[in-house]
Amino acid sequence: MKILVCISHVPDTTAKINFTSDSSALDGNGIQFVINPYDEFGLTKALQLKEKHGGTVTVVTYGDTRVEQTLRKALAIGADDAVRLDGIPTDPMQVAGELAAHVQSAGYDLVICGQESIDYNGGIVPGALAAHLDWAFVNACIGLTLEGQQADCLREMDGGKEAVKATLPMVIAGKKGLVEESELRIPNMRGIMTARTKPLIPQPLAGTTPASHPASFTKPAPKAAVQLIDSSNLEELVRRLHEEAKVI
C-alpha cells in the first residue's frame, strides 16, 4: 500500500504572530515552524497502517526550501521519503491542484491530510484535492481501519459522530482521535540519523493558478483590561452580564 501524508509547515502553537510592516504577509522572524498538529496525527496513523499492512509512507509539502526542516522531521519520525513541491502557495485551490498533480503522477492508495492548517485555518485543501482526484473523501476523520480496499471511517459531526464506509483510493482529513495523543511518535536519535540519508526530492510545479490571494493582514484589537468582581458578590456579575454585556 502506498500512503501519502500531506504536511503543512506552520508556526509553532506558542508563536506570537506578527505581520510585515506593509501588512502583506506573516513576519516569520523568530518563529519556530513545526509539522501542522493535525498532520502529526495523520503521519502517525500512516506509520501504523504501514506496520499492519505493509507498503510505504511518503510525505509531501508544497513550499520553498524553508519547509525542508519540517519534512526532515517527518522523515525522522518514520516516513520513507519526502517530496517538496517547489513554490510558495497563496491559495488553497492552488495547493489542492498541485497536490493532485503529484498524486496522479506517483500513484497512491490513500492520501491523509489534516482537517486544517493552523496557520491560515483554511480547511479547504483536502476536499478540493479529493474532488480533483475524484476519490472518496471523509473530513474530520477520527477513526480509520482498512481491510483490503475497504475503509471503515469514523467522522466527527456537530454534537456526535458517524460511521462512513468507502473504497480505496480515498482522501481523509484527520484530527485527534485518528490516533490518540499518547500514540504520537517523536523522532529518536536513530530516526534523526537515518532521516539525513532518506530521499527528499524537490519537484517542479504543474502550474496551477491561484483562485484567491491575501490583500492584507492585521492583528485583532487588544482586549480591554479585565473587570474583577468580588467572589462574594456574584449578583453583581449576573447584573453586568445582563446590563453591560447583554448576554443573558
Partner 1 sequence: MVLIFAETWNGHFKKSTFEAVRYGAQCATSQGSKAVAIVVGPCAPPVESLGAYGATHVIHLHGSDRFEPFAFAAAIAAVAKEHDATHIIVSGTANGKALAGVLASKASASAISNITALPTGFAPLTVQRSAFSSKGIEVCVSDARCTVMVLVPNALGAGAAGSDTAQVEDRHISFEGKSHPGDAQVASGSIPLPEAERVISAGRGMKGPENWGMIEELATVLQAGTACSKPVSDIGWRPHSEHVGQTGIQINPQLYIAIGISGAIQHLAGVSGSKTIVVINNDPEAPFFKAADYGIIGDAFDVVPRLTQALKAYLSN
Ligand X SMILES: Nc1ncnc2c1ncn2[C@@H]1O[C@H](COP(=O)(O)O)[C@@H](O)[C@H]1O
Residues 24-63 that bind ligand FAD (CB under 6 A): 37
Computed on alpha carbons and rounded to an integer, the radius of gyration of the chain in Å comes to: 21
Least gap, CB of 176 to ligand X (angstroms): 13
Which of residues 92 and 143 has its CB atom nearest to ligand X in the complex?
Answer: 92
Which of 3, 7, 49, 82 lies at the binding interface for ligand X (CB under 6 A)? 7
Direct distance between the N- and C-terminal alpha carbons of the chain, in angstroms, rounded to an integer: 55
Residues binding ligand X: number (CB under 6 A): 23
DSSP H or E run through 136 = strand 136-147
By the rule CB under 6 A, 8 interacts with ligand X: yes
Restricting to residues 126-185, which ones interact with ligand X according to CB under 6 A?
126
Restricting to residues 86-115, which ones interact with partner 1 according to CB under 8 A?
91-93, 96, 115
Which of residues 46 and 164 has its CB atom nearest to partner 1 in the complex?
Answer: 164
Give the contact letters, 76-115, x = binds to ligand X (CB under 6 A), - = no: -------------x--x--x-----------------xx-
Query: Is there a contact between 42 and 112 (Cβ–Cβ < 8 Å)?
Result: yes
Give the contact letters, 118-157, x = binds to partner 1 (CB under 8 A), - = no: xxxxxxxxxxxxxxx-xxxxxxx-x----------x-xxx
Distance of CA 187 to the CA centre of its chain: 19
190 pairs with which residues across the strands? Answer: none
Going by their DSSP bridges, the two strands 2-6 and 56-63 should be labelled as parallel
219 pairs with which residues across the strands? Answer: none
d(CA 78, CA 71): 11
Distance of CA 81 to the CA centre of its chain: 18
Residue whose grid cell is 485583532: 220
Say which entry of ligand FAD, ligand X, partner 1, none residue 189 contacts (CB below 5 to 8 A, set by partner kind).
none
Say which entry of ligand X, partner 1, ligand FAD, none residue 6 contacts (CB below 5 to 8 A, set by partner kind).
ligand X
